[in-house]
Every structure is written in structure tokens, then in C-alpha cells.
């Protein structure tokens, strides 16, 4: 019994010592947020792919140019007019419907408007100076999908 207690104590001490208490992950996410913001603000963007619940909706959005402004305003211009929304990149800390600790890319347009389908919190899959790929994990409404932007 003493041997078992001793092993348990050693195990718990090993567990406590091995816990990561530094802020490396938080600093990495903050760096990623800053980098993605810089990428977005550097150019105009267009949607190259948008699927929601297995339905391809890319054609409905191919004539729009998206401008991400530093004030977190989002302007979508097309031959149909100009539409205003908002955007934000943040660390969700696993507090939303999606339990993972990752970057969220949030887009908000008027829900009943032409661009309302884009309104969601997406997980960032990849991003560089020419392309941004986002994934909508199944959310509280049961929606899932993918959204990709390319530099105009």
C-alpha cells in the first residue's frame, strides 16, 4: 500500500511539474492575429469558394470585392452596389460552440441581406499574402462550410 501511495505521489508530482504554465501559446495566437490583420488590410479580396451545408454558393458572390478596413468595417462592392459589414480576428479560447483553442475569423453582415450567409465565426485553416482559407465547423444552428478569399 505504501508503494502504491508513493507511486501516486510521484505521478502527481511529475504531472504538476510537466504542466506548461508559460504564455507561449497565448503569445503565438496574438502574433497570428496581428499577422492575419496585416494580410487582410494589405489588399482587396474576392471570394474564390464558399460552401455551406454542402451547397456551393460561390457563384452568388463572385462579383464582390471585399475591403477589410482597420476600423473593423468590411465593405463588399459589386455591380449591385456596396454593402457594409464588420469583421474581426480573435482567439476564441475554446469558449464558443467550437471547443478548440484557435483563431476565429468573424464576418457580420445584415442577416436578411444579400451577404447574410457569410455571417459566421470561421476557424482559420491557412492564410498568406495571396489566399485565406476558413472553415465553419458545425455551429449551434447546425451549419458547416468553407470560405476562401484570394487577393484581388
Q: How far apart are CA 48 and CA 62, in angstroms?
A: 7
CA 5 vs CA 9, 18, 117: distances in Å: 6, 20, 58
Q: How far apart are CA 119 and CA 111, in angstroms?
A: 7
- Measure the CA dihedral 36/121/118/116, to 10°: -130
- Tell whether the model's pLDDT for residue 41 goes beyond 50: yes
Decide which of 2.40.128, 3.30.870, 2.60.40, 1.10.10 is the CATH code for 26-151.
2.40.128
Prediction pTM value = 0.74
Q: How far apart are CA 134 and CA 124, in angstroms?
A: 5
What does the pLDDT look like over 80-132, one tens digit per residue? 899 999 999 987 655 445 445 578 899 999 888 889 999 998 999 999 999 99
- List the domain boundaries for the chain: 26-151
Amino acid at each position: 500500500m505504501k508503494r502504491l501511495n508513493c507511486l501516486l505521489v510521484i505521478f502527481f508530482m511529475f504531472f504538476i511539474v510537466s504542466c506548461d504554465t508559460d504564455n507561449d501559446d497565448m503569445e503565438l495566437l496574438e502574433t497570428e492575429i496581428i499577422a492575419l490583420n496585416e494580410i487582410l488590410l494589405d489588399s482587396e479580396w474576392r471570394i474564390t469558394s464558399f460552401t455551406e451545408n454542402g451547397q456551393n454558393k460561390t457563384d452568388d458572390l463572385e462579383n464582390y470585392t471585399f475591403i477589410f478596413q482597420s476600423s473593423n468595417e468590411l465593405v463588399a462592392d459589386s455591380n449591385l452596389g456596396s454593402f457594409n459589414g464588420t469583421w474581426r480576428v480573435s482567439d476564441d479560447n475554446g469558449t464558443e460552440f467550437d471547443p478548440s483553442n484557435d483563431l476565429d475569423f468573424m464576418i457580420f453582415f445584415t442577416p436578411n441581406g444579400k451577404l447574410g450567409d457569410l455571417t459566421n465565426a470561421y476557424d482559420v485553416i491557412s492564410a498568406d499574402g495571396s489566399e485565406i482559407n476558413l472553415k465553419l465547423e458545425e455551429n449551434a444552428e447546425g451549419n458547416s462550410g468553407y470560405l476562401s478569399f484570394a487577393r484581388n
